């Protein structure tokens, strides 16, 4: 995944460390600016397991390097059928490389690792040697060696220690002849499998000048217009290549229909009434690493200019606004850097105005790695079908840029994408019908079906809930689980969900403490006091006890049960404590508060205990990463709880069950008090909470936990949690799509 953290957004300590690394890197960044080493690296290392890491400390250089990398990658992807892996840009490239080396070793995967940085050979050699002391298999490092007038070769100081560490050092000059040799040597290295250190010798440029620096402004010049078809085609390719991109279009045009149909989860068409909501949503998406691309007309930009400025200014978010205009007489002014008065001003935005198809391609390719707001103005005119033949025969009269590009090939398969958490008409368009169909089609195993029928003798939940939970469990199961036990452990987790419901339905009832305590005794293999319980309540306890015994017996069969048994018991105690907390709040609503709610109730989702069960069935998981994994699971569990609250709080009002966080937030903000919760008509309570936008507040918390979960997951080497993160995004969508049904 591409780094989304420019230096300006880092915390003080991180900023200081990265700024120090930037100041002391010693290199000019010339190799990255020129683009040719990265192009050759991508030609040599494009297998699915290959990884290319670009360590860039200079934030300005990051943007320039990003442009070059995307140009190279796209060209390669168009010329061959090979799947080109995205290049990773980061200011901590050596740490990333070490992670790849360890993951490759633990997972037994092949593939090459290549590193290129903006540091000189001395800085890069010290960094690599500190974290990767010995040259690993299948690794290439490219570094710059800067020669000053009359000075010795800096590489000579590090050549001996690199040889001792097992590196084959290869030297090249920065000229055309050496570049050809560089390419052939990469191919040879790939063939023989020996790790190599490529040193490119450059001359020092006085006064900080750099003859290879690229001009970043488009050439401009109003030499042509861009067709709607061309814009849609380029944005389609952008969505193909980058899963972080989400498109929102206000353009009322049929040209967008194929894109909207192809990417139903990552593209939205909104009307004028939904623009404000869409902007809020896009801003929230950007907060946790997504990159929204908004397409609107210049009139719509003027109309919503104030909100756009409020959402973007000072927040360092990665957005792209594509503004459609006709007859842009000011294009030449853009190239001077002067902002004409007729262009609505957005502080901090980079303004570009592609004037041809070639420039449009370059700017769209640049979108993926832009770390700020990019404001792109386009002169878009439709080329109607009846004019196409005339355009082809009269190229001198119609610019080639306005000709539609050939349609892209159809891509089969289900596409996962960032969640779209809005309770609005725009969000409902993105609800996954595929998920709903898969949920309805689930068939339970014989053991699970038996316990569902047992539950139905004492409980009232419908079978859709169990299918929904089974589907979510399967999506979020850790990838390190041994294949032969995956189905069994998923069923075991569903049994724990049934236990959860058996307890939760009682904890939600007022004045049911004796019944709840009897249930808690049952799941602790103790005899509780059932003397004051009704026959129905005693039957409820008996079913819970029997189910608990089966659940515990199944867990005891797993290969690493003894290793994780105490942790699993601790996880379950957190859930049991949550049941006690819910009962207390319902009996004493005046005690509710946000802090205790957010501390206790996420354990109701059982996701941390699910992770521990997964580890019992994971022979390859490295226990040294247990703390980091549990950190990720804790945030994922909280994300799940937020989705659960948003999808269920309305049905809980008639039962006067106010343990959900949305009620605590409403009381804390003064929208309602605990007495009114108990006395007001349920419809009135619901209206008060809906007017207070408390769901939006909870979603903001979801975004924060999502970012923390991602940060922890990226530190784990013995399991690739990328699919699990995507699954939790999808899990939120499942909650929103199933509101009122679970």
Do 385 and 448 reside in the same domain of the chain?
Answer: no
Tell me whether residue 317 is in a domain: yes
Contacts with 500 (C-beta within 8 Å, 6 or more apart), sequence order: 575, 604, 606
Q: Can you give the pLDDT at residue 742?
A: 76
Note the pLDDT of residue 214.
30
How far CA 546 is from CA of 543, 553, 569, in Å, comes to 5, 11, 18
What's the residue count for the chain? 742
Q: Which residues of 638-677 are buried (b: 16+ CB within 10 A; e: fewer)?
A: bbbbbbbbbbbbbebbeebbbbbbbbbbbbeeebbebeeb
Contacts of 525 (CB under 8 A, 6+ apart): 548, 549
User: To 5 degrees, how large is the angle CA 61–CA 64–CA 69?
Assistant: 115
Angle (CA) 279-283-286 rounded to 5° is 140
Looking at the fold, whether 175 and 254 belong to one and the same domain comes out as no
Say how far apart CA 207 and CA 202 lie, in whole Å. Answer: 15
Residue 165 and residue 280 share a domain: no
Residue 597: which H helix or E strand, with range?
helix 594-600
What's residue 424's pLDDT?
31
Q: Average pLDDT per run of 10 along the chain, which is 742 residues long?
A: 31 42 53 80 81 72 51 37 47 62 63 83 80 83 80 78 84 83 88 86 55 32 52 86 81 76 80 73 68 81 74 66 58 32 57 73 75 70 33 37 35 29 33 68 94 95 93 93 95 98 90 92 92 94 97 97 97 96 90 90 96 96 94 95 89 85 86 87 87 78 86 86 83 76 74
pLDDT at 434: 65
Is the Cβ–Cβ distance between 381 and 225 less than 8 Å? yes
Q: How many domains does the chain have?
A: 3
The closest of 633, 637, 635, 665 to 649, measured between CA atoms, is 665
Nearest to 501 by CA among 595, 613, 582: 582
The CA-based angle 555-559-562, given to 5 degrees, is 70
Q: What is the DSSP string of 466-533?
A: HHHHHHHHHHHS-TTS-GGGHHHHHHHHHHHHHHHHHHHHHHTSTT-HHHHHHHHHHTTT-----TTS
Domain-embedded: residue 706? yes
CATH of the domain at 593: 1.10.600.10
Pair 644, 690 in one domain: yes
Query: Phi, psi (5° rounding) for residue 689?
Result: -70, -35
Residues 195 and 232 reside in one and the same domain: no
Sign of the C-alpha dihedral, residues 467, 281, 91, 417? positive
Claim to verify: residue 148 and residue 294 sit in the same structural domain: no
Q: In angstroms, rounded to a whole number, what is the distance separating the alpha carbons of residues 397 and 399?
A: 7
Residues 357 and 451 reside in one and the same domain: no
425 found inside a domain: no
Rounded to whole angstroms, the Cα distance separating 240 from 236 reads: 6
The token pair that represents 462 in the structure block: 């419908």
Nearest CA to 542 among 556, 530, 555, 554?
530
Q: Which residue has the tokens 């990665």?
A: 318
412 found inside a domain: no
Residue matched to tokens 């610019």: 399
Residue 566's CB is within 10 A of a number of other CB atoms, namely: 10
Looking up residue 141, the CATH number of its domain turns out to be: 3.40.50
Q: Which of 476, 466, 523 is nearest to 498 (CA)?
A: 466
Q: Are residues 55 and 91 in the same domain?
A: yes
Nearest to 423 by CA among 287, 261, 260, 280: 280
Q: Which domain, by its residues, includes 664?
A: 433-737
Residue among 65, 35, 44 nearest 174 (CA): 35
Say yes or no: 622 and 529 in one domain: yes
E strands present in 262-413: 267-269, 291-297, 319-325, 350-352, 373-379
CA distances from 285 to 56, 695, 704 (A): 25, 15, 11
- 419 falls within a domain: no
In the structure encoding, which two tokens stand for residue 217, read together? Answer: 């402004």
Distance, in Å, from the CA atom of 124 to the CA atom of 110, rounded to the nearest integer, reads: 24
The reported pLDDT for the residue numbered 156 is: 81
Largest Cα–Cα separation, the chain = 97
Does residue 586 fall inside a structural domain? yes
Listed residue (107, 407, 381, 361) closest to 257, CA to CA: 407
Domain boundary among 174, 208, 242: 208
Indicate whether 129 and 48 sit together in one domain: yes
Buried/exposed code over 273-295 (b: 16+ C-beta within 10 A; e: otherwise): ebbebbbbbbbbbbebbbbbbbb
Q: Are residues 533 and 385 in the same domain?
A: no
Q: What CA–CA distance (Å, rounded) separates 397 from 391?
A: 7
What is the domain-level CATH number for residue 389?
A: 3.40.50.970
Is the residue at 39 inside a domain?
yes
Residues 128 and 246 placed together within one structural domain of the fold:
no
Structural domain includes residue 59: yes
């Amino acid at each position: 995944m591409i780094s989304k953290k420019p230096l300006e957004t880092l915390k003080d300590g991180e900023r200081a460390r990265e700024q120090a690394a930037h100041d002391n890197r010693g290199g000019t960044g010339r190799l990255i600016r020129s683009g040719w080493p990265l192009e050759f690296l991508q030609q040599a290392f494009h297998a699915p397991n290959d990884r290319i890491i670009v360590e860039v400390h200079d934030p300005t250089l990051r943007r320039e390097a990003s442009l070059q990398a995307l140009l190279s990658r796209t060209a390669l992807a168009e010329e061959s059928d090979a799947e080109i892996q995205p290049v990773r840009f980061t200011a901590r490239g050596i740490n990333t490389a070490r992670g790849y080396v360890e993951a490759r070793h633990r997972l037994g995967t092949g593939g090459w690792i290549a590193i290129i940085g903006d540091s000189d050979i001395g800085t890069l050699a010290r960094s690599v040697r500190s974290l990767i002391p010995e040259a690993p298999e299948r690794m290439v490092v490219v570094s710059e060696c800067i020669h000053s007038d009359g000075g010795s070769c800096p590489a000579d100081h590090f050549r001996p220690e690199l040889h001792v560490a097992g590196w084959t050092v290869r030297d090249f000059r920065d000229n055309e002849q050496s570049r050809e040799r560089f390419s052939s040597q990469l191919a040879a290295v790939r063939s023989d499998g020996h790790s190599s250190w490529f040193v490119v010798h450059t001359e020092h440029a006085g006064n900080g000048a750099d003859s290879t620096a690229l001009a970043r402004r488009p050439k401009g010049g109003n030499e042509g217009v861009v067709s709607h078809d061309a814009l849609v085609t380029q944005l389609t390719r952008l969505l193909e290549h980058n899963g972080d991109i989400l498109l929102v279009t206000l353009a009322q045009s049929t040209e967008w229909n194929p894109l909207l149909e192809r990417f139903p989860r990552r593209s939205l068409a909104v009307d004028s009434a939904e623009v404000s909501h869409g902007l809020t949503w896009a801003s929230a998406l950007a907060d946790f690493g997504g990159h929204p691309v908004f397409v609107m007309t210049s009139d719509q930009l003027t109309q919503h200019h104030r909100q756009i400025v409020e959402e973007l200014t000072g927040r360092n978010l990665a957005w792209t606004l594509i503004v459609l205009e006709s007859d842009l007489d000011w294009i030449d002014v853009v190239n001077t850097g002067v902002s004409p008065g007729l262009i609505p001003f957005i502080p901090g935005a980079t303004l570009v105005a592609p004037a041809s198809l070639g420039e449009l391609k370059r700017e769209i390719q640049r979108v993926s790695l832009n770390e700020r707001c990019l404001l792109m103005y386009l002169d878009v005119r439709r080329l109607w079908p009846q004019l196409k033949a005339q355009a082809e025969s009269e190229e001198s009269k119609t610019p080639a840029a306005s000709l539609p590009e050939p349609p892209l090939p159809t891509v089969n398969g289900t596409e996962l994408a960032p969640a779209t958490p809005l309770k609005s008409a725009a969000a409902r368009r993105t609800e996954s019908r595929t998920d709903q169909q898969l949920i309805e089609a689930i068939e339970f195993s014989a053991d699970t079906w038996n316990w569902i029928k047992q539950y139905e003798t004492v409980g009232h939940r419908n079978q859709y809930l169990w299918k929904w939970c089974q589907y979510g469990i399967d999506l979020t199961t850790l990838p390190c689980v041994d294949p032969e036990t995956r189905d069994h452990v998923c069923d075991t987790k569903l049994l724990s969900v049934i236990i959860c419901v058996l307890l939760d339905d009682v904890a939600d009832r007022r004045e049911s403490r004796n019944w709840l305590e009897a249930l808690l005794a049952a799941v602790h293999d103790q005899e509780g006091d059932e003397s004051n319980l009704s026959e129905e309540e005693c039957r409820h306890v008996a079913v819970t006890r029997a189910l608990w015994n089966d659940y515990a017996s199944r867990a005891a069969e797993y290969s690493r049960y003894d290793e994780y048994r105490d942790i699993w018991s601790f996880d379950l105690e957190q859930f049991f404590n949550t049941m006690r907390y819910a009962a207390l709040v319902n009996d004493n609503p005046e005690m509710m508060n946000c802090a205790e709610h957010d501390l206790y109730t996420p354990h109701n989702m059982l996701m941390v205990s699910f992770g521990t069960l997964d580890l019992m069935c994971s022979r390859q998981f490295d226990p040294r990463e247990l703390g980091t994994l549990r950190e990720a699971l804790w945030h994922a569990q909280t994300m799940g709880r937020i989705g659960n609250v948003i999808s269920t709080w309305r049905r809980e009002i008639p039962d006067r069950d106010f343990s959900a966080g949305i009620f605590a937030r409403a009381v804390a903000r003064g929208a309602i008090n605990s007495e009114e919760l108990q006395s007001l008509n349920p419809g009135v309570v619901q209206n008060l909470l809906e007017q207070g936008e408390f769901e939006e507040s909870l979603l903001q918390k979801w975004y924060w936990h999502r970012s923390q979960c991602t940060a922890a997951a990226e530190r784990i080497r013995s399991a690739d949690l990328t699919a699990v993160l995507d699954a939790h995004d999808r899990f939120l969508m499942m909650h929103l799509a199933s509101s009122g049904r679970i």
